[in-house]
Amino acid sequence: MIELTSGEFNAQSFLDQYTSGSAEYEMLKKLNESTHTYKYPDLDELTFEIKMRRAIINASLDLYRARLSFRTFQDSKCNEDFWRRMSNGGFALKQGVKASDAINDIYRNTRQYGTECATAIVIVYYKAVLEVYGASLFDKAFTDIVLMNWQQMDELLSIATYRKLPDYIPGDCRYFRNPDVNPLTPEWQGENAIDMGNGKYYGHGIGISDANRIIAVLNQNRVADSTISAYLMDTATRPDFGSLYMYWKNS
């Protein structure tokens, strides 16, 4: 259930703001009907999280439509007008470049970029924050971006992975593990995928599909005669929505 510190929460009134069947509607239904209590200081912070989760879904859909190419870290590429390609295959924001311009360039000039699934999810997170914050606040908040994995994210995003959660919500990043991956194709050891709602996921290199198809694709990249299937782990990776909200509110 949802609980507001500031007062009583009218779930139906809040749900009525969204179209039935939408990702937002699914988010709120899961949060409110859960046996776990989700506590928010006020309605504004809950609204902000819903808006951020929708922005994550939109950024995933836009990146899929832009046809970002799948490449390993060894073969990654970027537009060097905005990013410096590092020796480990990640991308570092170049000095003197606005972060908002650099993130938007990935979506505008996508053919100049190529990377693997973890970096694609990082790109999605930054794009989502950019859309919610706007360019001016985003550029103030993020001045030293590295696109690669969770460990090199900016502290404001505070990306963390949680295990055995009571609920998995649209906008979460889920992980499909392939324990018997063919050693000749280690890039298929798993797939980071954004929960798009309604049983669909976005995974870079696979596209938008349901869990069964993602598992089927991973299973095509196992060692010969393997009987161990890929599977969806009971984990979720999420930004710290509360910290993002407080920065937005105080700015």
205-236 confidence digits (pLDDT tens): 999 999 999 999 999 999 999 999 999 999 99
202 phi/psi in degrees, rounded to 5: -105, 120
Q: Where are the domains of the chain?
A: 162-236
Provide, rounded to the nearest whole percent, the portion of the chain with pLDDT above 90: 94
pLDDT digits over 63-109, tens only?
A: 999 999 999 999 999 999 999 999 999 999 999 999 999 999 999 99
- DSSP, res 98: -
Q: What was the pLDDT predicted at 6?
A: 85
Task: Residue 194: name the closest of 19, 66, 62 by CA.
Answer: 62
Which residue pairs, CB below 8 angstroms and at least 24 apart, start in 40-46? 40/2, 40/3, 40/4, 40/5, 41/4, 41/5, 41/6, 42/4, 42/5, 42/6, 43/4, 43/6, 43/9, 43/14, 44/245, 44/249, 45/241, 45/242, 45/245, 46/2, 46/4, 46/14
Q: Please provide the average confidence, as pLDDT, over all residues in the chain.
A: 96
**Least confident segment among 9-13, 115-119, 194-198, 221-225:** 9-13
**Least confident segment among 42-51, 152-161, 182-191:** 152-161
Q: What was the pLDDT predicted at 158?
A: 86
Task: Give residues with Cβ within 8 angstroms of 194, minimum separation 6.
Answer: 56, 57, 60, 121, 124, 171, 172, 173, 174, 201, 202, 203
pLDDT of 120 > 90? The answer is: yes
Confidence label for 19 from pLDDT (cuts 50, 70 and 90): very high
Determine the average pLDDT of the residues in 13-31.
94
Q: What was the pLDDT predicted at 232?
A: 98
Confidence label for 149 from pLDDT (cuts 50, 70 and 90): confident
pLDDT digits over 150-169, tens only?
A: 878 888 988 999 999 999 99
CA atoms within 13 A on the CB side of 189: 7
